[in-house]
Amino acid sequence: MKICLLTEGSYPYVVGGVSSWVQMLMEGLPEFEFTIYSIGAFGKDRGNFKYKLPENCTGVQEVFLDEILAQRSTGLRKKVLTESQRHTLTNLVRGEPDIDMEELIDIFQHHSWDSPLDVFMASDFFDIIETVYKDKYSYLPFTGFFWTMRSMLLPLFYLLQQKIPQADVYHSVAAGYCAIIGGIGAIFYHKPFLLTEHGIYAREREAEIIKSSWAQGDFKSVWINYFYELARVTYRKTDHVYTLFEHNAQIEKDIGCDPDKITVIPNGVHMERFKDIPELTDHKGPIIIGAVVRVVPIKDIITLVRAFFRVQQEIPDTEFYIMGNMEEDPEYAAMCRRTVETLGLRHCHFTGTINVAEYLPKMDILVLSSISEGQPLCVLEGFSAHRPYVTTDVGCCRELIYGDSTDHLGSAGSVVPPLDDQSLAYEIVKLARNYPLRKEMAAIGYERTKRGYTYEHFINSYREVYADLERRMKEWQESASN
């Protein structure tokens, strides 16, 4: 059985997080064939893979959104859309939930567009934008609204015109652009469509847009509504949704996903990778605090650095390690370095991409400062290495730190509000000054991971998912042949 994994802004160009999940899934299921459909941001990343593809991964189809800039229109077209096509595109521009995916296939896979810009040069599509503007957005300047629509929809139109790989199953790792492609591929080839949502895609885009400078004023809400629309379309078209923990499942239901479609499958880690790491000791050297994290805005490294500064005011000889990729957003990485210099923070090391198992033995306390997460593997890896964690209250972190309603082990660290460097520093200092507490929390984290978050449980769960689909497809084929 051939499974097409659809990724966006992650595998195989970015290390960690969702990318690690994709690699572990393919490596753990050698009996299945995988192919990757990857949506990236920049064409310069083409072929620049951060992972060695497993033998059962037979190829990567790469699509990059910056290639839209090279698109050219063939000029004005008049009245080229059918009535049903106009209805579908009107719903898309309005943000209506009942978008006809089959009609989108007809518009973009079977129409003679030379470029996605040609759609915007169609007079009847301009009429759609103008009509929706007058009906819903007349309080905004029309020019700004038109260019917002163009910026939002061009990536989608571009992706819808791409050749969709043929597979037996389409499995998206986000409810965004890549999921739209997965849904269309499934419809096009009459195959199952699965979604595993790590973080809540629409919520993550909302957080980014609220903080952004490129979307201004009321245009932020137009963008936010659009990404929620993509999520609702995905939920409606998928055969099944897998999520990492119950709180995420509830959010998916609130957005519009059918509860009967949702199953929780937690992430898992190779605990044996860390079996040689000794438990914490009450050493006499400086306390070493680490964050295994990509240096990107959603991980909020600036708040982390400010918290480190507060910690160093209390415990002057403390050392800090920020361990993760610094190439994904060079401007943000440079801003983080400047913040370290401006604060006069000493002994703060940016390591770049590392082998986590080599660095964790040096750590006394681990920290995660993200403003959005799913179920962070770095926390489970830290627990596997007998280290306590201080995290922000995002994604599954509260459940990982304190356990769920069936787990009475206790606390494996502390949870604080996002963007709160003072609370983050307070909890770090509390742990730094109390070795027995550090060791107790580390032991609880290790036991919690062993009970519910192992790689074996994760892999076996997806093995059952794929095997069940394979059985059903074979039964259908046999029935059809008879």
pLDDT tens, 146-159?
999 999 999 999 88
Dist. CA 250–CA 248, nearest whole Å = 5
At residue 380, the pLDDT reads 95
**Closest by Cα among 211, 192, 178, 212 to 61:** 178
At residue 69, the pLDDT reads 78
**Closest by Cα among 250, 235, 258, 238 to 396:** 250
At residue 374, the pLDDT reads 84
**pLDDT above 70 (res 331):** yes
- Do 2-70+163-264 and 271-453 agree at the fold level? yes
- What's the order of all strands across the beta sheet hosting 262-264? 57-64, 33-40, 2-8, 169-172, 193-197, 240-243, 262-264
- Residues 365-412: pLDDT tens digits? 999 999 988 889 999 999 999 999 999 999 899 999 999 888 889 999
Please give the residue that has the higher pLDDT: either 477 or 64. 64
Mean pLDDT of 33-52: 94
**pLDDT above 80 (res 478):** no
At residue 480, the pLDDT reads 63
**pLDDT above 90 (res 135):** yes
**pLDDT above 90 (res 441):** yes
- Residue 294: pLDDT band with limits 50, 70, 90: very high
Looking up tokens 């309603």, which residue turns up? 405
Burial classification of residue 213, based on how many CB atoms lie within 10 Å of its CB (0-12 exposed, 13-18 middle, 19 or more buried): exposed
At residue 393, the pLDDT reads 96
Mean pLDDT of the chain: 92
**pLDDT above 90 (res 62):** yes
- Residue 75: pLDDT band with limits 50, 70, 90: confident
Burial classification of residue 146, based on how many CB atoms lie within 10 Å of its CB (0-12 exposed, 13-18 middle, 19 or more buried): middle
Locate 74 and state its tokens.
Answer: 């063939």
**pLDDT above 80 (res 355):** yes
- Residues 159-194: pLDDT tens digits? 888 888 999 999 999 999 999 899 889 988 999 999
Tell me the pTM.
0.85
At residue 466, the pLDDT reads 97
Q: Is 420 in contact with 369 (CB distance < 8 Å)? A: no
Q: Specify whether the backbone of 228 is left (phi greater than 0), alpha (psi in -120 to 50) or beta.
A: alpha
- Residues 26-38: pLDDT tens digits? 999 999 999 999 9
**pLDDT above 70 (res 298):** yes
Looking up tokens 């998916």, which residue turns up? 252
- Residue 99: pLDDT band with limits 50, 70, 90: confident
- Region 271-453: CATH code: 3.40.50.2000
At residue 68, the pLDDT reads 85
Contacts of 73 (CB under 8 A, 6+ apart): 114, 115, 117, 118, 120, 121
At residue 360, the pLDDT reads 96
The number of residues in the chain equals 482
Give domain limits for the chain.
2-70+163-264, 83-150, 271-453
Dist. CA 18–CA 12, nearest whole Å = 10
Q: Report the DSSP beta bridge partners of residue 288.
A: 319
Q: Is 323 in contact with 359 (CB distance < 8 Å)? A: yes
- Region 2-70+163-264: CATH code: 3.40.50.2000
**pLDDT above 70 (res 117):** yes
Please give the residue that has the higher pLDDT: either 67 or 444. 444
Mean pLDDT of 282-296: 94
CA distances in angstroms from 237 to 173, 357, 402, listed in the order given: 15, 40, 35
**pLDDT above 90 (res 272):** yes
**pLDDT above 70 as % of the chain:** 99
Please give the residue that has the higher pLDDT: either 22 or 214. 22
At residue 482, the pLDDT reads 61
